[in-house]
Amino acid sequence: MVSVFSRTGIGLFVSGLLFSVSGVVAAQDGVPVNRAQIVAVFPHDPEAFTEGLFYQDGYLFESTGRVGHSEIRKEALETGKMIAQTSLPDGYFGEGIVAWRNRLVTLTWRSERGFLWSFPGLKMLGNFRYKGEGWGLTHDDSSLIMSDGSPCLKRLDPVTLRVLSRICVKAAGVPVSRLNELEYIHGEIWANIWMTPEIARIDPVTGEVKSWIDLTGLAEKVNSFDPDAVANGIAYDRKRDRIFVTGKYWPHLYQIKINDFKN
């Protein structure tokens, strides 16, 4: 899948089919597209190459990428101030991040190795192996959910990290690849689509995309000409029902709402 840019908006090739995701019209497959509306704006480190994000116990937890710059961070939402941080070992490109009870699980991009950390202490406890690339992580009530850039998400045992099953994502029957950062919200899997301003709302049972969320307006506010400065990072405050999004090198984190979504 490749992204294509034009003066009329952004198009997304999904396994050879072009879907309009301009936010003005629905995709040609009939899957609705909704624009994200900004509720509040918070500071975000413009040097953070955001790969993973979640919100818990009043703080944001973020993983950043790039070899030599990959970190795990605990941050204050209102100020963006870093409360604690730790670096990945040399030579690793940080990716997805998720908390399960008193343990933090992180992925790396192409090294086929993940790391285990104490939570919220951020002290390394060990590492584990997996096949393929590591992209995003989230969890539901019983399993971790991992993306690897392919159309199929993996469900992992949260203790052994063994693959339990796969969820293959489709939009009207067409596979959707480049599923990146993940968040579990109101019984749905939300996934950034890499190199686009789109989030897919995915049914975790069928894998069907229920709708696209268009972040184009937010990307325009960032006004960055860096091709890597794409939307990536979704966090959910379960206690207050708040949804946050950001991107790589974005100077802001946005609380958003969606018209047809209760939040």
Of 180, 77, 168, 57, which Cα lies nearest the Cα of 119?
57
Burial of residue 105 (number of CB atoms within 10 Å: 0-12, 13-18, 19+): buried
CA within 13 Å, CB half, 62: 32
Domains in the chain (CATH in brackets) are: 30-257 (2.130.10.10)
pLDDT bucket at 13, cuts 50 / 70 / 90: very low
**Global pTM?**
0.89
**How many angstroms separate the Cα of 17 from the Cα of each of 5, 77, 115, 174?**
15, 39, 37, 8
Residue 11, pLDDT above cutoff 80: no
pLDDT, tens digit, for every residue of 204-243?
999 999 999 999 999 888 878 889 999 999 999 999 999 9
pLDDT reported for residue 29: 62
Residue 184 · residue 236 · CB < 8 Å: yes
Question: Hey, which residues does 165 pair with through a beta bridge?
Answer: 155
